[in-house]
Structure 1
Amino acid sequence: MRYPGLIIYGAICLLAALPSFAGAREYVSHKLEGQTLSIATDEGNVTVRAVSADAFEIVYDINEDKQFPSFALSGETQQTDVQVEENEDSILLRTPAMTATIEKSPLRMRYDRQGAALLSEEKGFFTDDKSRGFRFDLTASERLWGGGQRVLGMDRRGEILPLDNRGAYGYSDRSDAMYYGVPAVISDRKYMLLFDNSARGEMDLGKSEANILQVKASGGRAAYVVVAGQSYADIVQNYTAITGKQPLPPRWALGNMASRFGYRTEAETRSVVDKHFAEDFPLDAVILDLFWFGPDIKGHMGNLDWNRSAFPNPEGMIADFKKKGVNTILITEPFILSTSKRWEEALANQALARDAAGQPKTFDFYFGNGGLIDMFDPKASDWFWAKNRDLLNQGVAGIWGDLGEPEAHPSDIVHTPNWGADEVHNAYGHQWARMMSEKWAQDFPNQRPFLMMRSGFAGTQRFGIIPWSGDVSKTWPALQAQIEIALQMSVVGLAYSHSDLGGFVALDSAVDDGKTAVAFDKELYIRWLQFGAFQPVFRPHSQEQIPAEPVFQDEQTKDIVRRYIRTRYRLMPYLYTAAWQNSRTGMPMTRPLAFASDDPAMFTDQSAFLWGNDLLVAPVTQKAATSKSVPLPAGIWFDYWTGAKFFGGQTVSVPVAIKDIPVFVRAGAFIPAIGDIDTLRDYRTDRLKLHYYHDGSVTASTSQIYDDDGITPASQEKGLYELLNFQSAYVKDTLLIGLTRERHKAYAGQPAQRQMQVIVHNIDKAPRRVMVDGKKMVVNKGGLNGGDKAGVAYSASGRTLTINFPWRGDKANIAVRSGSAAN
């Protein structure tokens, strides 16, 4: 051995870096109460609670004065059967789906699902002078999703994820920490691990030690949750079942939004709205950045009121927009500057977080000198909410909560009741969203909230937030990163994650003054907005140097983007139904390809994604691309634009031109659509197009449309909705399509009947017979004459069969008989 001293020194350093496990806990006794197993040890209690049949929560009592709640869990325990079995060396806690095995000496736990090993503690809980956390074993080939907003690639094994919500201005191709981290990961072994701790810390996913997953934080709870499922989709649904499901947003939130940093005057804002309609662009919202409350970027934060020099009649402006079907959204921040109009009022109402001496904590940061609203203090949040309520009473329809990490959060801040800034840092945005959601429901019970929030925690989705990916640069790698971010957020419950379409930061601008001219990449802009048409929220946003709104682009760009926005609006029944399904099951609208067939081979793919259950979108993220490789899941798929048929289970290469990105439809899918509208205020389903993608390989399929007034909170719970259910069956040479209407209480805009146009795709020849509700229809090969008359037409060039009929009852049946239907 040539360097024994060096090796010994290295070993000492490694040991020093590892956490201390002195005093590992030893089992003393246990007791089962309900679904909670309480274990007494020689160093305090440990509880293992079956939160549901598919999830265990583990909490260590670390005998501290401070007590922290679970911010992540919704507080509702799902009832399930539990059984306890004691052996000489272990205790087993079983549900119908999972088993937790607790080894007695030293205390250590492992988990399995129906006999399949999932996760095991390596040495379990640890604590030292600076942190507390847990260590788990990883298998050599294990892959991990999750962690929220990061740009690291889909498989995050081998990375350290800082648990520290923070700004990431101008990020592009890599960022290990961003605005919205989530301390949860999903393994390809079919489990999720949630570190239920709000403090600053980190998740080490096998980087420091190859086969160890270590989570730790500087304070907070000593708790984690293990969630299991039969499939990756099941895991997400089981996770949202215990952390909370996202309520439906107002339907208008899914429409086009005009946004920029920023509109400086009422006249400018009015002109932008008018230009959208003049240029034939649908529009549902206009978003005002910080110039609504001050003439400059710095010095005015905390005014929480209009700058009436620039906006002399905001109430009239908001009302005029509302008449056009356009909703107004205002940015707010949780900081009150000492130079703002509200400073003295904030001090008088004790609204600011305090220092160790109990005095309001002031500090300098980018926007000026001031303090931070203590969102954990009911009195402080009451004061802050009152200012928001005043704006909503003026007609404002949505609040954009910015800088909620919070962007500036000195460690010596003390939050109510006695929590240090570092201990609850990652839950600050979560608490802000909770306060806004609860008070909105209290004061505006008939209006769904719109809360666009930059930061939060695990479980914040239950407060109805719409997160976005922050101040992204205008680069091609940054566009590619948006797919990764959207997918990583979706698997931890945050279904409405989206991006500043077109990118926000122009990196070749030397100054952020809103005036410096910068280069504009037209192709990048078009590709980003094409991708955005298939995001949950469509919101172009940018610095002023390059207008984000498509109405300010050249004619070719406007034509391409207009077509995509129009396509989005036509598909609104599909998107709104997917949003409703998310509110019921937790399944996101944007889904990893691995969800399609639960294929672990697609675990790391971010080249494409599922949009809802039946559409696959493959954004073009390479400059000057002439083709795109698309991994198609098993089954038959159709090109949405051309109708061309593809066999799945392989990667296909498709040509791409600037006018389109690849979009595919699953065989057997029902894709509902409406005609063109200029605002979702005019959304109706009384004239409905129902596209069915037929293939002989699909012998049966089902789908549905959810419909309500788009406004009322908890519309399904109140019975103010209806479901349209669709079924197909293909037997020998006959295709059967059934429609049923599940009515409940009447709601505003509910159709008494519907004029249906059913379009069956992939039909090789005109059918021999078409029956609608038992009546034989004549097939016209020259097309339909229009109008609402019942009729059937076959298009040989499009290989489509179109069936028009009025749907007056609760059921309708179509039979198409043709020996030549495509197989």
Structure 2
Amino acid sequence: MACNNLKFKVFFGAVFFTALSAFAQDGFKNLTDGIEIKISKPAKNDAAFVKIQVITDDIIHVSASPVAVFDATKSLMLLDTQPAVVKFTTKNSNDLVIVSTKNLDAVVSTITGEIVFKDKSGKILLQETAYGGKSFTGTTLEGEQSYSIRQSFTSDDDEAFYGLGQHQNGAFNYKGTKVLLSQYNTEVGVPFLISSKNYGILWDNNSITKSIDTHDYENLSTLKLFSDKGEQGWLTATYYDKNNPGKIITARPESYIDYSYIPSLKNLPDGINLKNTLVKWEGSIESGFTGEHQFNLWYSGYVKLYIDDKPVADRWRQGWNASTHLIKLNLEKGKKYKIKIDWDPVSAESFLALNWSKPLTKELKNEFAFESEAGQKIDYYFISGNSMDKVISGYRQLTGKATLLPKWTMGFWQSRERYNNQEEILSTVAEFRKRKIGLDNIVLDWRYWKEGQWGTQQFDTDRFPDAAAMTKTLHDKYHTNFMISVWAKFYENTQNYQDLKAKGFMLTRNVSDGRLDWLGFKNAIYDPYNPEARKAFWKLLDANLYKKGIDAWWMDASEPDVHSNMPPDVRKEMIGHNYLGAPEKNYNAFSLVNAQGIYEGQRSANPDKRVFILTRSGFAGLQRYAAATWSGDIGSRWEDLQNQIPAGLNFSMSGLPYWTSDIGGFSVEKRYENATGETLEEWRELNARWHQYGVFCPLFRAHGQFPYREIYNIAPDDHPAYKSILYYNKLRYRLMPYIYSLAGKVYHEDYTMMRGLPMDFSSDKKVLNIANQFMFGPSILVNPVTEYKKRNREVYLPGNTGWYDFYTSEFTEGGKTITAEATYEKIPLYIKEGSILIAGANIEYTSQKSTEPLTIYVYTGNNASFTLYEDEGINNNYEKGQFATIDFNYNEATKTLTVSNRKGSFKGMEKDRVFNVVYVSKTKKSVFNLLSDGKYDKQIKYSGKKAEIKL
């Protein structure tokens, strides 16, 4: 399974050879928490020293260096705490050193540094590739020695990989694919991988990183290309006048298609304005390989790709925000395939590139790696567990617990780009309350400041005459929270820019370059890597916004997006030298330190109130700063809805539990802006289907460009789209006890709410590649519909359990694929046999009080359990132990439901309760009632003491 890693020439100098003599003849020395090994036969490109440190019985820290002194730079992603001392042993035998904990053995070769991780039965969990798989390539950053580093591993044939953040190419299982960890609008890189074999790797590096298959895509020109007339060496590119499509502006041979970023547009033919142009590439391609070829399409505007006249891609994205699409094609060696690409760029700045990679051999497909562009050492954590949940718990042990978000964040949020004034915000919330539609949060997007004054952090008083009074009305009259968009960005002409610059807190390269933003102003970002700059930034937010009653923070463009559509090297250059050094070193961690400043600032200003941050980018450790991530400025298309499912699942499986997408998609095709007829009906159905999916995401929010996204602006109240959106809105609130209990479980047990099927059904190999189904909590199988006019869909019901249809309670055995009904107004939902769902009252906001009993739905057939979690919902007293739990356990053999003694208490806790119990079985089909009408099979009057009933 192993393969030799790539070899590079690196010269380390005298310091390397001096260090060798410091080691004993056996080649290693003991540390208080592990060992350090001098590799006896390092190649010039390899590590010379390897360090193994025991963190817990299930976590091993591996670092490797080309020199004897290991870099001691403080990690940004890890908690700044001293780990507990864990018992371990070391054994030296035949050029091997074995470091053993209670649960793991790390077997290290003193000759090559290669490491194999095993469980206590001797089963191999993970192994580095032959000879260690470590590579160092010397580079220089700001006049100092640095390295490009690579670590490779081998995997089993049937192993699957998840996590690594959020990516928009539609991939779920990343085995054998290229995953670039580089922050970009809609792309989030998180260097944590989780395996279907129940281990994880946390790669402690903040620079741009290639992962899994780290080989670059190749230019299209490396295939055999043929023009539309059969001439070898190129495709025929024809540029047409968009206003007169039959008129050819120019035609020319093109051997590669790479108009990826703004600088590359200079390679277009002279005089071409993409806004007024249509482009067609025609010809044939031929490969020297048989097997699965992967094509990476980078696109904006409209693009269609055909192979042998069959469509293999039909995509759209707004011109300024290109996206990626992975296309897998099985091609035969030596066979010509006709290719055609149609591109309507839509705007003057639109982008298109098409690259490819050859089929991987079995050996290469089973190799996976991390390769980072900047680092002083290889640094990773191997995390083992008996389940994916245990592995994610290990990740959070290293990087921090996910805070418990305010309860209101679990309700519905309404947003749009944008509310222009105070009256629009208040009237929107008033309309929700008038219609009795659930709402907990209204969001104010950008440009609430005076025009040309970005970075003042102040409201334009002409449009928002009394922001403090507005927030008070939202709170007191409408019981609605208020979230506001804040950016790390400042216009040069603002006093805040000048003040921060004077203190050395601004990253000014963008201004020095004279670059203008979309609105025509010079701008730059502050330096959140600097702790004092973070404090200064918070001070501005506190004085100008927080003190006016702001409840939460929307951290936009936190990649950071200094100048959109520039290549990564230019983006790093525009950030420039920061407090921690060269921009390459910490490029991916901007959103982490940015959120840190807001979190720590608000906690210092108001220690009692829970913080909440929504950020467009994310990184390992973000969860400890009360931050969630959304999927950025995605498109409003069916394929974008489809891609959100694996994107959100992989983000959640990266250890960061709170994620959301813009329901309806952000960027909108022109055809939807003033739609009528069939186009309007498609828009309405797209939004209905997206709401059906969004209600089962950790956070439930609508946002986007025009058309407006309020339910009553999408469709009239007698339309099926309106009815469906309203149904799922009510369902979200009805399920709030279940949902908030999951949130409690996230904090207290390191749980994950939105769950890829391999998390719960790892023994069922059929689920490893299912990208369009997931579990919401332990009980609900969610199956979104992502095609227009689709009224059914295939659903795989995982094996080793049975499933109840949520709407009818019909029972079906698992382990098979069914065709499930999917009417306009509903998506297929199934409840796992042996589940307990706890439903609350019909409420319109999460803090609304109700005297209605909770309803306990018991889905029988297997033993079932669920823990109801409750606290005050808004403050941090839960950190002090002020919360309560009630365990519900159903025993299938005795048909008994047991409600345990209540554990814990909190201020305002409801001590005496009534639980209405509804049970569902294969013969008794009790249907989940959206309206809590009081119907039940049994009733429990509960005062905190154990109770039992027979069902």
**TM-score past 0.5 threshold:** yes
The structure 1 residue matched to 2:874, chosen from 697, 701, 711, is 711
Question: Given the alignment of the two structures, is residue 91 of structure 1 paired with residue 97 of structure 2, yes or no?
Answer: yes
Give the CA deviation at 1:274. 0.9
Give the CA deviation at 1:292. 1.6
The structure 2 residue matched to 1:194, chosen from 183, 197, 202, is 202
Alpha-carbon spacing, 1:372–1:67, altered in 2? closer, same or farther (3 Å): farther
Give the CA deviation at 1:155. 1.6
Q: Work out the CA distance in 2 between the residues paired with 1:427 and 1:144.
A: 23
- 1:529 maps to what in 2? 691
The structure 1 residue matched to 2:788, chosen from 623, 635, 660, is 623
Q: How many residues are matched?
A: 749
Structure 1 SS opposite 2:167: coil
Question: Given the alignment of the two structures, is residue 125 of structure 1 paired with residue 134 of structure 2, yes or no?
Answer: yes
Q: How does 1:752-771 map to 2 (within 5 A)?
A: 752-762=911-921, 764=923
Q: Which amino acid aligns with 2:493?
A: T
- 1:134 maps to what in 2? 151
Do the aligned residues in 2 keep the contact of 1:626 with 1:657 (CA within 8 Å)?
A: yes
Structure 1 SS opposite 2:162: strand
- 2:541 maps to what in 1? 388
Give the CA deviation at 1:414. 4.6
Query: TM-score normalized by structure 1?
Result: 0.85
- 1:566 maps to what in 2? 730
Q: Which amino acid aligns with 2:201?
A: L
Do the aligned residues in 1 keep the contact of 2:39 with 2:110 (CA within 8 Å)?
A: no
Do the aligned residues in 2 keep the contact of 1:257 with 1:540 (CA within 8 Å)?
A: yes
- 1:81 maps to what in 2? 87
Question: Given the alignment of the two structures, is residue 730 of structure 1 paired with residue 896 of structure 2, yes or no?
Answer: no
Give the CA deviation at 1:443. 1.6
The structure 2 residue matched to 1:592, chosen from 753, 756, 759, is 756
- Higher mean C-alpha deviation, range 76-85 or range 453-462: 76-85
The structure 2 residue matched to 1:160, chosen from 169, 173, 178, is 178
- 2:573 maps to what in 1? 411
Question: Given the alignment of the two structures, is residue 39 of structure 1 paired with residue 37 of structure 2, yes or no?
Answer: yes
Q: Which amino acid aligns with 1:678?
A: E
Q: How does 1:269-288 map to 2 (within 5 A)?
A: 269-288=425-444
Structure 1 SS opposite 2:847: helix
The structure 1 residue matched to 2:471, chosen from 299, 318, 322, is 318
- 1:774 maps to what in 2? none
Give the CA deviation at 1:352. 0.6
Percent sequence identity is 23
Alpha-carbon spacing, 1:481–1:813, altered in 2? closer, same or farther (3 Å): same
Q: Which amino acid aligns with 2:501?
A: L
Give the CA deviation at 1:729. 1.8
- 1:810 maps to what in 2? 945
Give the CA deviation at 1:576. 0.5
Give the CA deviation at 1:787. 10
Do the aligned residues in 1 keep the contact of 2:396 with 2:655 (CA within 8 Å)?
A: yes
Q: Work out the CA distance in 1 between the residues paired with 2:945 and 2:212.
A: 56
CA offsets, 1:168-219, max 9 Å, x none?
4xxxxxxxxx1x1112222333322222100123124265644432322221
Do the aligned residues in 2 keep the contact of 1:83 with 1:94 (CA within 8 Å)?
A: yes
CA offsets, 1:4-34, max 9 Å, x none?
xxxxxxxxxx999854477899886333333
Alpha-carbon spacing, 1:415–1:463, altered in 2? closer, same or farther (3 Å): farther
Do the aligned residues in 1 keep the contact of 2:665 with 2:703 (CA within 8 Å)?
A: yes
Give the CA deviation at 1:419. 1.3
The structure 2 residue matched to 1:336, chosen from 461, 483, 490, is 490
Question: Given the alignment of the two structures, is residue 550 of structure 1 paired with residue 704 of structure 2, yes or no?
Answer: no
Alpha-carbon spacing, 1:509–1:404, altered in 2? closer, same or farther (3 Å): farther
Alpha-carbon spacing, 1:668–1:683, altered in 2? closer, same or farther (3 Å): farther
Give the CA deviation at 1:37. 2.1
Do the aligned residues in 2 keep the contact of 1:629 with 1:651 (CA within 8 Å)?
A: yes
CA RMSD across the alignment? 3.0
- 1:496 maps to what in 2? 658
Q: Work out the CA distance in 2 between the residues paired with 1:20 and 1:189.
A: 35
Give the CA deviation at 1:721. 1.2
- Higher mean C-alpha deviation, range 47-56 or range 140-149: 140-149
Q: How does 1:126-525 map to 2 (within 5 A)?
A: 126-130=135-139, 131-152=148-169, 153-168=171-186, 178=187, 180-205=188-213, 209-222=364-377, 223-295=379-451, 299-323=452-476, 324-353=478-507, 363-366=515-518, 368-390=521-543, 391-408=545-562, 409-411=571-573, 413-508=575-670, 521-525=683-687
CA offsets, 1:338-382, max 9 Å, x none?
1345222322343213669xx988754445322211111122111
Give the CA deviation at 1:55. 1.6
Structure 2 SS opposite 1:260: coil
Give the CA deviation at 1:294. 3.7
Do the aligned residues in 2 keep the contact of 1:474 with 1:506 (CA within 8 Å)?
A: yes
Do the aligned residues in 2 keep the contact of 1:685 with 1:754 (CA within 8 Å)?
A: no
Q: Which amino acid aligns with 1:655?
A: E
Alpha-carbon spacing, 1:707–1:765, altered in 2? closer, same or farther (3 Å): closer
Q: Work out the CA distance in 2 between the residues paired with 1:475 and 1:692.
A: 38
Q: Work out the CA distance in 2 between the residues paired with 1:200 and 1:241.
A: 24
CA offsets, 1:413-472, max 9 Å, x none?
455544111111101111111222222222211111110011121121121211011111
Question: Given the alignment of the two structures, is residue 643 of structure 1 paired with residue 809 of structure 2, yes or no?
Answer: yes
Give the CA deviation at 1:765. 7.0
Q: Work out the CA distance in 2 between the residues paired with 1:766 and 1:102.
A: 58
Give the CA deviation at 1:536. 0.7
Q: Which amino acid aligns with 2:551?
A: A
- 1:797 maps to what in 2? none
Q: Which amino acid aligns with 2:118?
A: D
- 1:175 maps to what in 2? none
Do the aligned residues in 1 keep the contact of 2:482 with 2:552 (CA within 8 Å)?
A: yes
Alpha-carbon spacing, 1:33–1:561, altered in 2? closer, same or farther (3 Å): same
- 2:61 maps to what in 1? 57
- 1:821 maps to what in 2? none
Give the CA deviation at 1:103. 0.5
Q: Work out the CA distance in 2 between the residues paired with 1:743 and 1:90.
A: 50
Structure 1 SS opposite 2:880: coil
Q: Work out the CA distance in 2 between the residues paired with 1:330 and 1:499.
A: 17
- Higher mean C-alpha deviation, range 669-678 or range 432-441: 432-441
Give the CA deviation at 1:701. 2.5
Q: How does 1:664-743 map to 2 (within 5 A)?
A: 664-683=830-849, 687-695=853-861, 698=862, 700-715=863-878, 717-731=879-893, 734-743=894-903
CA offsets, 1:712-760, max 9 Å, x none?
2151x423211111111233xx521111242424313x11211221111
Do the aligned residues in 1 keep the contact of 2:92 with 2:98 (CA within 8 Å)?
A: yes
CA offsets, 1:680-725, max 9 Å, x none?
1215687211111123xx2x3221100011012151x423211111
- Higher mean C-alpha deviation, range 15-24 or range 555-564: 15-24
Q: Work out the CA distance in 1 between the residues paired with 2:127 and 2:6.
A: 22
- Higher mean C-alpha deviation, range 405-414 or range 606-615: 405-414
Alpha-carbon spacing, 1:619–1:303, altered in 2? closer, same or farther (3 Å): same
Q: Work out the CA distance in 2 between the residues paired with 1:620 and 1:413.
A: 41
Do the aligned residues in 1 keep the contact of 2:34 with 2:99 (CA within 8 Å)?
A: no
Structure 1 SS opposite 2:702: coil
Structure 2 SS opposite 1:165: coil
- 2:702 maps to what in 1? 540
- 1:603 maps to what in 2? 768
Query: TM-score normalized by structure 2?
Result: 0.74
